[in-house]
């Protein structure tokens, strides 16, 4: 619609690693590129940080543990938190038992989430450190036209609360 492609934000769908339907893996996994789970994984699954990394859990697949990748596509069972820095796609048979953190979420009718759904905005920008405050001005002694000594103290506050006090020394 409006001249843009629906697949413009999606990475290419190549599969570099496949966990077969009859395979069960216990342990943490780090991957790059496309990673498809048709079997069962127990452990943390984390991409190496490449922006085009895609984790796909098929309708036969399941993962028990935390998942972290830029793009996550789920059509199977996920027991644990999903943290996607870019996009999460939940297909019709997706069953997520955990929190889903995302930037863009696509959820088909029939997909289920038992947990929180949290939109992650851009990383918070660090504000510059405030400049050091100049040392407080010490009252200076002055003389009036009559020759009497007095101290002048000024407090700079918001416009409606500013005060100027003069004291005899």
Question: Among candidates 80, 34, 81, which has minimal Cα distance to 58?
Answer: 34
Task: Express each pLDDT in 47-89 by its tens digit.
Answer: 998 899 999 999 999 999 999 999 999 999 999 999 999 999 9
Look at residue 11 and tell me if it is in a domain. Answer: no
Look at residue 128 and tell me if it is in a domain. Answer: no
Do residues 111 and 59 share a domain? Answer: yes
Lowest mean pLDDT among 74-78, 105-109, 120-124, 144-148: 144-148
Q: How confident is the model at residue 32 (pLDDT cuts 50, 70, 90)?
A: very high
Do residues 148 and 79 share a domain? Answer: no
Do residues 57 and 108 share a domain? Answer: yes
Which residue range forms the structural domain that includes residue 156? 139-169
Do residues 155 and 110 share a domain? Answer: no
Do residues 33 and 70 share a domain? Answer: yes
Mean pLDDT of the chain, nearest integer: 81
What integer pLDDT is reported at residue 14 of this predicted model?
A: 86
Do residues 150 and 94 share a domain? Answer: no
Look at residue 73 and tell me if it is in a domain. Answer: yes
| Whether the Cβ atoms of residue 168 and residue 142 lie closer than 8 Å to each other | no
What integer pLDDT is reported at residue 160 of this predicted model?
A: 60
Is 105's pLDDT higher than 80?
yes
Is 124's pLDDT higher than 50?
no
Look at residue 10 and tell me if it is in a domain. Answer: no
Do residues 60 and 108 share a domain? Answer: yes
Question: Among candidates 16, 28, 94, which has minimal Cα distance to 58?
Answer: 94
Q: How confident is the model at residue 2 (pLDDT cuts 50, 70, 90)?
A: very low
Do residues 99 and 39 share a domain? Answer: yes
| Whether the Cβ atoms of residue 79 and residue 61 lie closer than 8 Å to each other | no
Look at residue 56 and tell me if it is in a domain. Answer: yes
Look at residue 6 and tell me if it is in a domain. Answer: no
| Whether the Cβ atoms of residue 53 and residue 32 lie closer than 8 Å to each other | yes
Residue with tokens 């966990």: 19
Do residues 104 and 152 share a domain? Answer: no
158 or 23, which is more confident: 23
What integer pLDDT is reported at residue 9 of this predicted model?
A: 58
Please tell me the total count of domains within the chain. Answer: 2
Do residues 94 and 163 share a domain? Answer: no
Q: How confident is the model at residue 136 (pLDDT cuts 50, 70, 90)?
A: low
Q: How confident is the model at residue 3 (pLDDT cuts 50, 70, 90)?
A: very low
Look at residue 131 and tell me if it is in a domain. Answer: no
Mean pLDDT of 25-34: 95
Do residues 82 and 113 share a domain? Answer: yes
- Given phi > 0 = left and psi -120 to 50 = alpha, else beta, which region is 110? left
Question: Among candidates 161, 10, 7, which has minimal Cα distance to 84?
Answer: 10
């Amino acid at each position: 619609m409006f001249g843009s492609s629906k697949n413009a934000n999606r990475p290419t769908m190549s599969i570099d690693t496949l966990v077969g339907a009859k395979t069960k893996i216990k342990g943490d996994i780090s991957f790059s590129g496309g990673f498809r789970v048709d079997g069962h994984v127990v452990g943390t699954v984390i991409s190496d940080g490449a922006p085009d990394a895609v984790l796909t859990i098929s309708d036969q697949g399941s993962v028990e543990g935390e998942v972290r990748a830029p793009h996550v596509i789920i059509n199977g069972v996920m027991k644990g938190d999903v943290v996607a820095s870019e996009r999460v796609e939940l297909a019709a048979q997706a069953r997520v038992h955990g929190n889903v953190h995302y930037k863009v979420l696509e959820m088909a009718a029939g997909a289920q989430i038992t947990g929180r759904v949290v939109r992650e905005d851009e990383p918070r920008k660090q504000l510059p450190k405030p400049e050091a405050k100049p040392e407080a001005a010490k009252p200076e002694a002055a003389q009036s036209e009559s020759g009497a000594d007095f101290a002048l103290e000024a407090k700079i506050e918001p416009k409606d609360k500013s005060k100027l006090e003069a004291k005899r020394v």
